[in-house]
Structures are given as C-alpha cells and as structure tokens.
C-alpha cells in the first residue's frame, strides 16, 4: 500500500475490521525479541500520531511508541488462506507476485495481516477474515501493484 496513505489505511482497518492480535518484535530477532504480543479479544485497538511519532493504544492505554525515524515503506496486507487437504489438516497458500487476491479459485482468507517495519520493529496486526482492497496504482508494471484498504461490502 502507498506509504502516504498509511494513516488512512490503518484507521480504516481498525474502524471497520475486527482486530484479533497486535504483535511487535525487533527485526532480525527471529521472534526472539518480542515487544508486544497481545490478544485484542474484547479490547479496542487505537492509535495516535503526532510530531514524536506513532503511538499504538489498547483500550486507550499506550502499548508501544514508534518515533518513525526509520520508516521506509507503507503497510502491506497478507492473507491466511488454508487449502483443504486429504488429511483434513489443510495447507497454507502463499501467493506469488502479481497474483489476483480476489481469484475465485482461492479459498476465502481466514485472517488478514496488516504489517510494516517501523524503526527496526516488525508490526503485525491480525484481523478476522478479509481486509478488502481496491487497486490504487502500479508500483512496477506488470507485477507490482499498490492497493488501498476499503470498507467491507454491506
């Protein structure tokens, strides 16, 4: 997603989709230096941004502050899709570059992940179901597209 629309996309997702988990860890720690790993069940996720950076809030309490000194790219969205298998367990589907996230042959996403790297920290916000997207523009034609989040269909 375009970096210049990060605040708009983050607000739209938080306001219109059910956030399930907030996860923040130091980049390169392979999951070892986890700063936040909080279930959002029954809680409200929020944020505020000012000159000192981005503050993530859970039930109006600050849980993490990003000073935004190192902030290179916009948020991205990934989907958790499970394809049924004969053993009944299923397998995760990973799409390659340029795939249509709305391909009718794909199973509907169980969860969506809004993620970014800010100030050497990976942030992931897990949402129930699909975060709906619409095409925004080309980053590198013909395979890399920018998308923006949209409200779920009524």
In a domain, 131, yes or no: yes
What is the total count of domains within the chain? 1
With contact defined as beta carbons under 8 Å apart, do 120 and 27 qualify?
A: yes
Residue owning tokens 């907030």: 22
Token pair of 61, please? 């309490």
154 located within any domain: no
24-50 residue pLDDT tens: 999 986 767 999 999 999 999 999 999
Residue 36 lies in a domain: yes
Residue 71 lies in a domain: yes
The reply to whether 119 falls in a domain is yes
90 DSSP β-pair partners: none
- In the chain, the percentage of residues whose pLDDT exceeds 70 is 90
The pairing of beta strand 111-118 with beta strand 121-128: antiparallel
Domain of 79 in residue numbering reads as 3-101+111-149
pTM as predicted:
0.87
What percent helix, strand, coil does the chain show, rounded to 5? 10, 45, 45
110 in Cβ contact with 45 (< 8 Å): no
């Amino acid at each position: 997603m375009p970096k210049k629309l990060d605040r708009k996309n983050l607000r739209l997702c938080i306001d219109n989709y059910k956030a399930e988990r907030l996860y923040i860890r130091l980049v390169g720690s392979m999951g070892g230096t986890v700063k936040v790993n909080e279930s959002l069940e029954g809680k409200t996720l929020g944020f505020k941004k000012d000159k000192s950076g981005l503050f993530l809030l859970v039930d109006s309490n600050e849980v993490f502050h990003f000073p935004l000194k190192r902030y290179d790219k916009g948020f991205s969205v990934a989907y958790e899709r499970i394809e049924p298998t004969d053993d009944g367990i299923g397998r995760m589907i990973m799409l390659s570059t340029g795939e249509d996230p709305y391909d009718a042959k794909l199973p509907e996403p169980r969860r969506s992940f809004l993620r970014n790297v800010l100030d050497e920290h990976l942030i992931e916000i897990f949402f129930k179901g699909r975060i709906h997207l619409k095409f925004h523009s080309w980053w590198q034609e013909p395979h890399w597209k920018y998308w923006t989040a949209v409200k779920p269909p009524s």
